[in-house]
Chains A and B, each alone.
Chain A
Amino acid sequence: MAAGFKTAEPLEYHRSFLKENCRPDGRELGEFRATTLNIGSILTAEGSALVKIGNTTVICGIKTELASPTVDGPTKGYVVPNVELPSLCSSRFRSGPPGEQAQAASQFIADVIESSEVIQTEDLCVEKGKLCWVLYCDIVCLDYDGNLLDACIIALLAALKNTQLPEVMINSETEQPVVDLEKKRPLKVHRHPVGSSFAVFDKTILIVDPTAEEESLSTGLMTVVMDEEGRMCCLHKPGGTALSGEKLQDCVSRAVARHTEVRKLIDKVLESMKMDT
């Protein structure tokens, strides 16, 4: 009976739960799904992390390359994020060139990196005007069940914290770079942005961490990115239901709590790895 109701009237089905201040999967309105983090999942990458928020699974790998900096910014390196939504992660995506959602997500991650200054591109400079590092942050979604952006940011942050750059010297005679793979230093991560996503139901009810189904039924989505000092790095609301300043403030409060949660998780996992070595 319930299954039939869910299929025939998905919106009514969700509403009947929301009326009782809970959600079909048993969560409260302000509750996130279990977030699992595994750091160092890919050994061939310089840094990597796998994040699961409920069923949503995202893996991030950081690859580094040496390149010459631009004329405009001779002391700056590059950070190139890319979010991929392959057809395997959900039936809603097709294979081929990146769709609108993947492009928007890539742009969002690029904005977060730029706004939060999580990496200062000056740190990536090896020699002024000659040589710098390029960080390719490839984020691939393996299973799409809503709240992609949160998962992407956690994966990116954890992977960056896991990244080690080898030492590079420029040979003064040949002017060729020499990479010393033995000596590695961790990448400096200046700030720790963490995102929290919200969905608006029926123009009034706010729920956190929406699943794919909740996303498609909702009338608006929003992502708030906070850093550890309680400053906002990004408020991304692409459209949908209009919200008042008060409602936004509630979201911000929830995002602050979420930040501590995730920060602790990342720190604990990293610590366990440090103890391990």
Chain B
Amino acid sequence: MKDAPLSNCERQFLLQAIEQKKRQDGRQTYDYRSIKITFGTEYGCCTVELGKTRVLSQVSCELASPKDSRPTEGLLFTNLELSQMASPAFEPSRQSELLVKLNRQLERCLRNSKCIDMESLCIISGEKVWQIRVDVHVLNYDGNLMDASSIAAITALSHFRRPDVSIQGQDITVHPAAERDPIPLSIYHMPISVSFAFFQQGTYLLVDPCEREERVMDGLLFIAMNKHREICSIQSSGGIMLLKEQVLRCSKIASVKVSEITELIHKALDNDKKVRKEGGKCGFAESMSKERITSLQTVESPVEMTDVQETAREIIHNAETPSETTLSPVLHAVGLGQVGEGVSSGWGVEEDEEDEGMEDQPERAEGSRKGDVVVISDSEEEEVVVLQ
């Protein structure tokens, strides 16, 4: 299914609005849409809502052998999926340009920035290390997937806890959460991507473009930065020429945005920690708004089971009893039997059917047949016996 195209008048309207420093949703040029972070019941699972854009991120881990070149370092994999749920234009199992771009950028943002202490993931040097996997699923697409994904990924990583292990000689024991408290990853810094959309060959600039703005933009600049104002990755796409001053200005804006977002992530993490510590309920179900007219919840409800046995017995009792008489099978030859007379195969007459069974018969017969045991009615079979 294709996405609905943008008409010329819509395009013109959007561009005119941008020229007049106005945005459709009433934001200012440098404003982000509202960000909402919620955590799942498991460790390492969170959703991020950036306006209407929504992504789900899950971190998981497993034991693996390290790379030969880096025997003391763990492994980190990121995988971003453009689910068809997000937009009908996303086709499953197809590597679109957008998907490749986002995956590359996310990998640079997380892996190449060395934000996680990889050496702490080593269990036995050169033999066993933890492999951390970050799955990011896009659930709803309304522009600026990169920023939403990078926030979701780093939040999930900070939230994640891996099981504790103990080593005795070469044996590794993985302790389940009930036995020993799981351990959080050690995170050095949190790289967060900030996207800038450029219009009219770089004359105008917007932060956090929504889907419609992305459709009319000329170019995009990603800056991944941490709160210490260190740039982790910078990438411009779309083929626009940017002046040095523009890039510097963008990086200044990014530093402000990043510190705001980092603070928000920390607040969300602390909040979740507090709820978990108090033994309160956590998870997406809890964060579901109860006031919305489209949502409804029930409490745990009992199901009466008193007359269930009765109903079951009645049905079984009333059913026809299986007929005692069953067809007995007919043996056509050694290792070939038939039951039922219904429709036999349209492959041909009876003889043919046996032929087909016979094909391999002679070979085996040579080795094992004593020659006189079986009563044979088939002429070919007889030939075999004669041969012996």
Direct chain A–B contact by Cβ atoms under 8 Å: yes
Q: Which residues of A contact B (CB under 8 A)?
A: 25-27, 31-43, 50, 52, 54-55, 57, 143, 209, 245-246, 249-250, 252-254, 256-257, 260-262, 264-265, 268-269, 272-273, 275-277
Q: Is B360 an interface residue (CB 8 A)?
A: yes
Contact B360 A40 (CB under 8 A): yes
**Listed A/B pairs (24) with beta-carbon separation below 8 Å:** A26-B342, A26-B343, A33-B344, A33-B345, A34-B345, A36-B337, A36-B344, A37-B338, A38-B356, A40-B335, A40-B364, A41-B357, A50-B357, A52-B353, A54-B345, A54-B346, A246-B315, A249-B318, A250-B319, A257-B323, A261-B327, A264-B326, A272-B334, A272-B374
Q: Is B339 an interface residue (CB 8 A)?
A: yes
Cross-chain contact of A253 among B321, B356, B360 (Cβ < 8 A):
B321
CB-CB < 8 A to B338: which residues of A? 34-37, 265
Q: Which residue of A lies closest to B341 (CB)?
A: A34
A143 to B356, CA, bound (A): 14
CB-CB < 8 A to A277: which residues of B? 368
CB-CB < 8 A to A55: which residues of B? 345-347
Contacts A34-B342, A43-B363, A260-B326 given; indicate if A253 touches B319 (C-beta within 8 A): yes
CB-CB < 8 A to A36: which residues of B? 332, 336-338, 344-345, 353, 357
Cross-chain contact of B360 among A31, A35, A43, A252 (Cβ < 8 A):
A43
Contact B374 A38 (CB under 8 A): no
Q: Is B328 an interface residue (CB 8 A)?
A: yes
A38 to B331, CA, bound (A): 10
Give the 4 A-B residue pairs with the shortest CB-CB distance, closest first. Answer: A249-B319, A34-B344, A265-B329, A269-B337
CB-CB < 8 A to A32: which residues of B? 340, 342
Expressed in whole angstroms, the minimum distance between the Cβ of A162 and any Cβ of chain B is 9
A265 to B321, CA, bound (A): 22
**Count of A-B contacts judged by CB separation below 8 Å:** 131
A246 to B316, CA, bound (A): 8
Expressed in whole angstroms, the minimum distance between the Cβ of A271 and any Cβ of chain B is 9
A277 to B345, CA, bound (A): 30
Cross-chain contact of B316 among A50, A249, A264 (Cβ < 8 A):
A249
Cross-chain contact of B339 among A54, A57, A262 (Cβ < 8 A):
A262
Q: Is B179 an interface residue (CB 8 A)?
A: no
Contacts A253-B322, A264-B326 given; indicate if A35 touches B315 (C-beta within 8 A): no
Expressed in whole angstroms, the minimum distance between the Cβ of B322 and any Cβ of chain A is 4
A42 to B364, CA, bound (A): 10
Known: A36-B353, A245-B312, A272-B333. 15 other contacts (CB 8 A): A26-B343, A33-B343, A34-B339, A36-B332, A36-B337, A54-B346, A57-B345, A246-B318, A246-B319, A249-B316, A249-B318, A257-B323, A261-B340, A272-B374, A273-B335
Highest count of chain B CB atoms <10 Å: which of A38, A143, A256: A38
Q: Is B291 an interface residue (CB 8 A)?
A: no
Q: Is B320 an interface residue (CB 8 A)?
A: yes
Q: Is B281 an interface residue (CB 8 A)?
A: no
Contact A33 B342 (CB under 8 A): yes
Q: Is B349 an interface residue (CB 8 A)?
A: no
CB-CB < 8 A to A57: which residues of B? 345
Contact B322 A254 (CB under 8 A): yes
Contact A276 B342 (CB under 8 A): no
Contacts A34-B345, A54-B344, A257-B322 given; indicate if A272 touches B339 (C-beta within 8 A): no
Q: Which residue of B lies closest to A271 (CB)?
A: B331
CB-CB < 8 A to A209: which residues of B? 342
Expressed in whole angstroms, the minimum distance between the Cβ of A222 and any Cβ of chain B is 16
CB-CB < 8 A to B321: which residues of A? 253
Contacts A40-B364, A250-B319 given; indicate if A268 touches B342 (C-beta within 8 A): no
A39 to B338, CA, bound (A): 12
CB-CB < 8 A to A250: which residues of B? 319-320
CB-CB < 8 A to A256: which residues of B? 322
Contact A257 B368 (CB under 8 A): no
